[in-house]
Chain A
Amino acid sequence: MFHSARNRTIAIAIGGLVALTLSASFADDLIPQDSVIEAPTAPFVESPAPTLTPEETTTVLAEGESVTVAQEIGNSPISTPRPTPSATPKPSATTDPDLLIENETPTVEILISPQPRLTLHMPISLGIDPRSRSYLMNSIEFWGTSTYLACFTGYGVGFDVGTSGAIDDFQNDNFIVEGDRTPNLKISGTGAAIKSLLRTPGGIRINSASGALAGHSLSLSLTALTSAATDQSYCGASKAMSTSVFLPLKIDLGLVKGQGTLKK
Chain B
Amino acid sequence: MSSGFNHSRPRKSKFILGALVLGAVPLLISTFAASVTVGNGSLEFGQGSQQATACDSTVYIAMGEEWHPSPTPTDASNGFFRVRAVTISNLDLTTCAGKKLRLRLIDGASGEITTGPTPDSKVLQISLPDQAPTSNISDPIALGLSYLSGIGAPISTTLLATVSLSVSGTAIYDGTTLSATNADATFYLDPTAVTVNIDGQSVRRTTVETVNNPKAPGI
Identify the A interface with B (CB < 8 A). 2, 5-6, 9-10, 13, 16-17, 20-21, 23-24, 27-28, 30-32, 34-37, 39-41, 43-47, 49, 54, 56, 58, 60, 119, 121, 123-136, 138-139, 141, 143, 164-165, 205, 211-212, 249-263
B185 to chain A, nearest CB (A): 14
Which residues of A lie under 8 Å from residue B30 when comparing CB positions? 24, 27
- Please report which residues of chain B, range 165-219, place their CB below 8 angstroms from some CB of chain A when the two chains form the complex: 170, 172-175, 200-201, 203-214, 216-219
- CA separation between A60 and B74, bound complex, in Å? 14
A15 vs B65: C-alpha distance when bound (angstroms): 57
Please determine whether A125 and B46 come into contact, CB atoms closer than 8 angstroms: no
| CB-defined A-B contacts under 8 Å, sample of 10 | A20-B31, A40-B205, A41-B48, A49-B108, A129-B62, A132-B60, A139-B64, A211-B42, A249-B61, A255-B212
| Among candidates A16, A121, A138, A249, residue contacting B79 with C-beta atoms closer than 8 Å | A121
- Select which of B44, B52, B109, B170 is within 8 A of A37 by beta carbon: B44
Whole-angstrom distance from the CB of A245 to the nearest CB of chain B?
A: 11
- A165 and B77 form a contact (CB under 8 A): no
Asked whether any CB of chain A lies closer than 8 Å to the CB of B152, the reply is: yes
Bound-state CA distance A23–B29 (Å) is 11
Determine if B212 and A251 form an interchain contact, defined as CB atoms under 8 angstroms apart: no
Residues of A within 8 A of B207 (CB): 251-254
Bound-state CA distance A171–B45 (Å) is 43
Interface 0/1 of B42-79, CB less than 8 Å to A: 10111111101110010111111111000000000101
Q: Could you give, for residues 14-58 of chain B, a 1 whenever the CB lies within 8 Å of some chain A CB and a 0 otherwise?
A: 001100100110011011101101111110111111101110010
A127-B59 in contact given A2-B9, A20-B24, A261-B216 (Cβ < 8 Å): no
Binary contact track B137-174/A, C-beta < 8 Å → 1, others 0: 00000000000000010000000000000000010111
CA A21 to CA B34, docked complex, whole Å: 12
With A2-B9, A123-B201: A30-B38 Cβ-Cβ less than 8 Å: yes
| A117: nearest chain-B partner, CB-CB | B77
Nearest-neighbour CB distance to chain B for A243, whole angstroms, equals 14
Decide if A134 touches B48 in the complex (CB within 8 Å). Answer: no
Please name the 7 residue pairs, one residue from A and one from B, whose CB atoms are nearest each other, closest first.
Answer: A35-B41, A258-B213, A27-B34, A44-B110, A141-B67, A139-B65, A39-B44
CA gap between A53 and B213 in the complex, in Å: 45
Please measure, in the bound complex, the distance between the C-alpha atom of A121 and the C-alpha atom of B49, giving whole angstroms: 36
Which residue, B31, B203, B204, B219, has most C-beta atoms of chain A within 10 A? B204
Contacts of B219 in A (CB 8 A): 261
Neighbouring B residues of A133 by C-beta, 8 Å: 174
Minimum CB–CB distance for A1 against chain B, Å: 10
CA distance A180 to B81 in the complex (A): 26
Residues of B in contact (CB 8 Å), total 75
Chain B residues whose C-beta falls within 8 Å of the C-beta of A23 in the assembled complex: 31
Which B residues touch A249, using CB under 8 A? 61, 63, 203-206
Q: Are B206 and A251 in contact (CB under 8 A)?
A: yes
Chain B positions within 8 Å of A129 at CB level: 60-62, 173
Least CB distance, A142 to chain B, in whole angstroms = 9
Name which of A165, A257, A258 has the most chain B CB atoms within 10 A of its CB: A258
Assess whether A46 is in contact with B109, with CB atoms less than 8 Å apart.
yes
Partner of A41, one of B47, B53, B110: B47
Residues of chain A with a CB closer than 8 A to B35's CB:
27, 30
Establish whether residues B77 and A127, one from each chain, have CB atoms under 8 Å apart when the complex forms: no
Cα distance A102–B34 when bound, in Å?
Answer: 70
Q: Which of B13, B49, B108 contacts A5 (CB 8 A)?
A: B13
Assuming A6-B9, A9-B17, A164-B170, what are 19 further A-B pairs, CB within 8 angstroms? A13-B16, A28-B34, A32-B38, A39-B47, A40-B46, A44-B110, A131-B45, A134-B175, A136-B64, A136-B172, A138-B64, A138-B84, A139-B65, A251-B61, A253-B52, A255-B54, A258-B100, A258-B211, A263-B218
Contacts of B203 in A (CB 8 A): 127, 249
Q: Name the contact of B204 in the complex, choosing from A17, A34, A250, A263 (C-beta under 8 A).
A: A250
- Residue pair B209, A123 in contact (C-beta under 8 Å): no
Q: Are B216 and A260 neighbours in the complex by a CB distance under 8 Å?
A: yes
**How many angstroms between the C-alpha atoms of A166 and B181 in the bound complex?**
25
